[in-house]
Chains A and B, each alone.
Chain A
Amino acid sequence: MGVATVYPSVHQDVALDVELVERHRCGDLQAFDEVYGRFGEMVYNLSLRLSGNREEAADLTQEVFLRIYRHLGSFAGRSTLKTWVFRIAINHCRDRLSRHVPPMQSIDGDPETGSVAITDPARGPEELAVAADEGRRVMMGLAQLPPVFREAVVLRDLEGLSYEEIAEVLGVRVGTVRSRIARGRDHLRLHLEKGL
């Protein structure tokens, strides 16, 4: 009964972080561009999952990166640049979404039907259809999760952060992260079972 979940690997070279920040401090505009290149897609996806709206996610990403640009020079290196960026993103999303909740929209696959497009050459058409249906239901369940559980589940299962990294981003203990992830997944499990 082995576990083989593979998460997208993220380059976490602390030396690279420091070098990027130093270059930014020296006025190298390319450094900030590289920061966007490393974390832009992650921040956009995080914003998308937390807001459930593409336009809102784009606005959030833009604001988060402008904030990063302003404060990158003060990055002290007490954490990795990745957790620092995620912390800014999470705080900004919380701040903005607490004041304004955008209308939820289908954010996966076809915007009209809401079906999730899963492409896997190893699977047959029927299997892919089942997986797509399940994906759609998981996505709907995720949108209904309370924000604290959604944040933890998204950071873990979609962004692939470790428990320690999530604890750092959310500013809570690892035990709390473990509990929030489990409760979020349990909500989703019940949501899936109800749909069967």
Chain B
Amino acid sequence: MIRHISTEDLSAYLDSELGFAEIVPLEAHCASCTECGSRLASLRRVVNGLGNLPRAEPPAALRQQIRRQAQAVPPTPGWQRRLDWLRLLLFPVRPALRTASAFGLAMLAGVFAISHGVADGFLRVSEPPPREDVEAYAGEAPVLLRQTTSEVAGRKFVWTDDGGWVQRGLEWATPETQLDAHSPQGRALLTRYSGLRLLLLEDGSSVILRDNLKTVVEIRNVPTPPRVMSGASQPRPGRRGHVMSA
């Protein structure tokens, strides 16, 4: 099988762009191969034809015209050159570049927004409200089978001997903060975990839970003073005992 010389190599040969090691076999091949020899001769004709094209002289008035215009235009100051670059970046002429530029700028804007926290409002996926399906609530517990666990907002609570509810896992933790259920902070917490209201019994039971994964909070349900002072009931003294098993 005869392997012919590529047009690229023939063209490079005419431009003296081949090394000696490539020239010798190429010349030998072209001397024996009619097809490659003929292609080389045709390419040479093309190169010679192009080289023979007469050079055009620019119009005589052009030089004067350019000189006159150049003198009228001051050289571009530095700030304007930078502005030109910006213009070129934002509004490139070629459609493909324009698309690429728009994509690039969008990426830059995204990176900037994320790194500076600007996009938090846009990117934050709206958190689903905490689950508040209370599976069981502490009420008047049956005598034989006392309800001791509850689940509120995806958290498990256990009933303690103190007469309060403690989030599972925090049985031995000391609350860092104590909030009155009727205080603004307590109300805010109860608004967030509204299912807790069901746990907070009228008789003054408390709830200990971990808020925001950081703070252990105890919400004490101090009953509002009754209008009739004599009927006021006092909350039971808080004492946390062992966790009763279910």
Q: Using CB atoms and an 8 Å cutoff, list the residues of chain A in contact with chain B.
A: 1, 3, 5, 7, 29, 32-33, 36, 40-41, 44-45, 48, 54, 57-58, 61-62, 65-66, 69-74, 95, 98-99, 107-109, 116-118, 131, 134-135, 137-139, 142, 153, 156-158, 163, 178-179, 181-183, 185-186, 188-189, 192-193
Q: Does B245 contact A (CB under 8 A)?
A: no
Q: Is the CB of A44 within 8 A of B62?
A: yes
Q: Is the CB of B75 within 8 A of A192?
A: no
Instruction: For A182, list chain B residues within 8 Å (CB).
Output: 6-8, 10-12
Q: Does B22 contact A (CB under 8 A)?
A: no
Contact A178 to B17, CB < 8 A, known contacts A1-B30, A65-B70, A138-B53: yes
Instruction: For A178, list chain B residues within 8 Å (CB).
Output: 8, 11-12, 17
- Which B57-99 residues have a C-beta within 8 angstroms of A? 57-59, 62-63, 65-67, 69-71, 73, 75-76, 81, 93-94
Stretch of B37-45, B110-118, B174-182 at the chain-chain interface: B37-45
A33, A62, A158, A192 pick with most chain B CB within 10 angstroms: A62
Instruction: For A36, list chain B residues within 8 Å (CB).
Output: 63, 66-67
Q: Is the CB of A138 within 8 A of B57?
A: no
Contact A116 to B53, CB < 8 A, known contacts A40-B62, A65-B70, A69-B73: yes
Instruction: For A62, list chain B residues within 8 Å (CB).
Output: 62, 65-66, 69
Determine the main DSSP class of B at the interface with A.
Answer: helix
Q: Using CB atoms and an 8 Å cutoff, list the residues of chain B in contact with chain A.
A: 6-8, 10-17, 27, 30-31, 39, 42-43, 45-59, 62-63, 65-67, 69-71, 73, 75-76, 81, 93-94
Q: Is the CB of B43 within 8 A of A99?
A: no
Q: Is the CB of B56 within 8 A of A44?
A: yes
CB nearest neighbor in A for B31: A1
Q: Is the CB of B54 within 8 A of A58?
A: no
Contact A138 to B54, CB < 8 A, known contacts A182-B11, A192-B42: no
CB nearest neighbor in A for B28: A1
Q: Is the CB of A61 within 8 A of B43?
A: no
Instruction: For B43, list chain A residues within 8 Å (CB).
Output: 185-186, 189
Instruction: For A183, list chain B residues within 8 Å (CB).
Output: 7-8
- Bound CA–CA A86/B75 (angstroms): 20
Beyond known contacts A5-B48, A179-B8, A182-B7: 13 more, CB 8 A cutoff:
A3-B15, A36-B66, A41-B57, A44-B62, A58-B59, A65-B70, A95-B93, A108-B53, A135-B53, A157-B51, A158-B50, A182-B8, A189-B46
